Amino acid sequence: MTTAAIIVAAGRGLRAGGGLAKQWRALAGQPVAGHALAAFAGMARVLVIHPDDRALAESVADGARIVEGGATRAASVRAALEALSDQGITKVLIHDAARPAVSADLIARVLTALDHAQGAAPALPVTDALWTGAEGRVTGTRDRSGLFRAQTPQGFDFDAILKAHRAHQGDAADDVEVARAAGLTVVMVPGDEANQKLTFPGDFLRAEQALQKTGARMDVRMGNGYDVHAFCEGDAVWLCGVKVPHGKALLGHSDADVGMHALTDAIYGALAAGDIGQHFPPSDPQWKGADSQIFLKHAADLARSRGFAITSADVTLVCERPKIGPHAAAMRQALAAIMGMEVDRVSVKATTSERLGFTGREEGIAALATAVLVAR
């Protein structure tokens, strides 16, 4: 491959809320940076991160190379360019991870322009009136003629932009500034209103709506899972990742987490990828007593690797006892963390069988689960 994409995700911006840097907040079932990476599938990709975010980055990398950035945006981009310097790259696209709704058409426009220019970048003309202001008052106006809103990806001849970054001192607003400082000509291509940069909390809803409008997100899969485990001697049961005190335990080759097993099978089912027994055979001694989050994480990672985001997960536990209600919130949190989802997309609830059948006789617990997957 001679075209590469650099996804810049080393910032620490928290204005969007959520307690995380915006590129790692969940959007439509996966971190924002995951959407940005997926848009450039098929190219050599480098994900530039803050050193503290490596675990988050590894969860979405999907084959992309991870490079730790520098103290400034320009330093971060240069680190990624240097990492690609011996790979035979001729064109490079540099994109902000905080723009998750970048379209294939926009990427194509930038690449096409690079056939005849050293640099190309998407832009939208400024159409609103421009004011200056101070202390909450309008203090003046500015002429908007000839003004444009810059977007990414910004594309360049690889050798030219690497040389420009090596010569550049200090930071820059974007890579066009670095390129122009080095004397490169950068042409503009039409931008896309949907390709907005996430900055404030309300931007996330608009970005999710933009993602849902793309044809790539029309592939929706749903899978169901069902599991049963009998009671045995013990003093607690593992349910949906939470240890619940009880007068008995659940019998199984692993930790017998019946809820997590059902959900794992639901994800495999949505992918038409078999069931938990095929991926983790009970005849294999290495899985004896294993933590069931290993299985669920494998299913979630498999979904991501195949281009899907898990947008909804629902688990129903069927038992007379223990009582699930006091633990349901913790169970939702545990499942969401394992799958890399927002907790408000994960449901855990319980019902009894009205004293009928093996669950009614308190011989064991059953679980049913449903998972919805949407193509990124």
pLDDT at 296: 95
**Is the pLDDT higher at 13 or at 142?**
142
Asked whether residue 14 carries a pLDDT value surpassing 80, the answer given is no
Three-state DSSP at 11 gives: coil
Q: Angle CA(25)–CA(208)–CA(369) in degrees, nearest 5?
A: 75
For 132, phi then psi, to 5°, come to -105, 160
Residue 1 has a pLDDT of 54
Q: If you average pLDDT over residues 326-350, what whole number do you get?
A: 92
Lowest mean pLDDT among 126-130, 222-226, 339-343: 339-343
* Best-predicted range by mean pLDDT (97-111, 163-177, 216-230, 245-259): 163-177
Beta carbons of 141 and 131 less than 8 angstroms apart:
yes
**At what angle are helices 258-270 and 293-305 packed, to 10 degrees?**
20
Q: Is the per-residue pLDDT at 214 higher than 60?
A: no
At residue 15, the pLDDT reads 53
| pLDDT tops 80 at residue 211 | no
Mean pLDDT computed over 321-347: 92
Please name which of 271, 265, 242, 239 lies closest in space to residue 252, comparing C-alpha atoms. Answer: 239
Q: What share of the chain is helix, strand, coil (3-state, %, to 5)?
A: 35, 30, 35
Q: Which fold has domain 220-375?
A: 60s Ribosomal Protein L30; Chain: A; (3.30.1330)
**pLDDT bracket for residue 376 (50, 70, 90):** low
Q: Do the two domains 3-217 and 220-375 of this chain adopt the same fold?
A: no
Q: Which amino acid, one-letter code, is at 226? A: Y
Instruction: Give 60 or 308, the one with higher predicted confidence.
Output: 60
Q: Are strands 130-134 and 364-375 parallel, antiparallel or unpaired?
A: unpaired
**Which pLDDT band holds residue 13 (cuts at 50, 70, 90)?**
low
Answer whether the bond into residue 153 is a cis peptide, omega within 30°.
Answer: yes
Q: Is this model's pTM higher than 0.85 or not?
A: no
Please state, for a pLDDT cut of 70, what percent of the chain lies above it.
95
pLDDT-based confidence at residue 242 (cuts at 50, 70, 90) = very high
Q: What is the mean pLDDT of residues 275-283?
A: 89
Helix residue spans in the chain (DSSP H)? 32-38, 54-58, 73-84, 104-113, 158-167, 175-181, 202-213, 258-270, 276-279, 293-305, 328-339, 357-360
DSSP string, 145-202: TT-EEE-S-EEEEHHHHHHHHHH--S--SSHHHHHHHTT--EEEEE--TT-PPP-STH
Per-residue pLDDT tens over the stretch 60-89: 988 899 999 999 999 999 999 999 999 999
Q: At residue 216, does pLDDT exceed 80?
A: no
Residues with Cβ within 8 Å of residue 153, at least 6 apart in sequence = 5, 40, 93, 94, 95, 102, 106, 107, 110, 121, 122
As a whole number of angstroms, the distance between CA 370 and CA 348 comes to 11
Give the whole-angstrom CA distance, residue 31 versus residue 24.
5
**pLDDT the model gives residue 29:** 77
CB 101, CB 196: distance < 8 Å = yes
- As a whole number, the mean pLDDT across the chain is 90
Q: How many residues does the chain have?
A: 376
Q: What is the pLDDT of residue 58?
A: 92
The phi and psi torsions of 296 (rounded to 5 degrees) equal -65, -40
- In this predicted structure, which of 43-47, 156-160, 252-256 has the lowest mean pLDDT? 252-256
pLDDT of residue 21: 84
Q: What's the average model confidence in pLDDT over 336-359? A: 91
Tokens of 159: 């050798």
CATH of 3-217, one of 1.20.1630.10, 3.90.550.10, 3.30.200.20, 3.40.50.300: 3.90.550.10
**Confidence at residue 18, expressed as pLDDT on a 0 to 100 scale:** 52
Q: Domain extents for the chain?
A: 3-217, 220-375
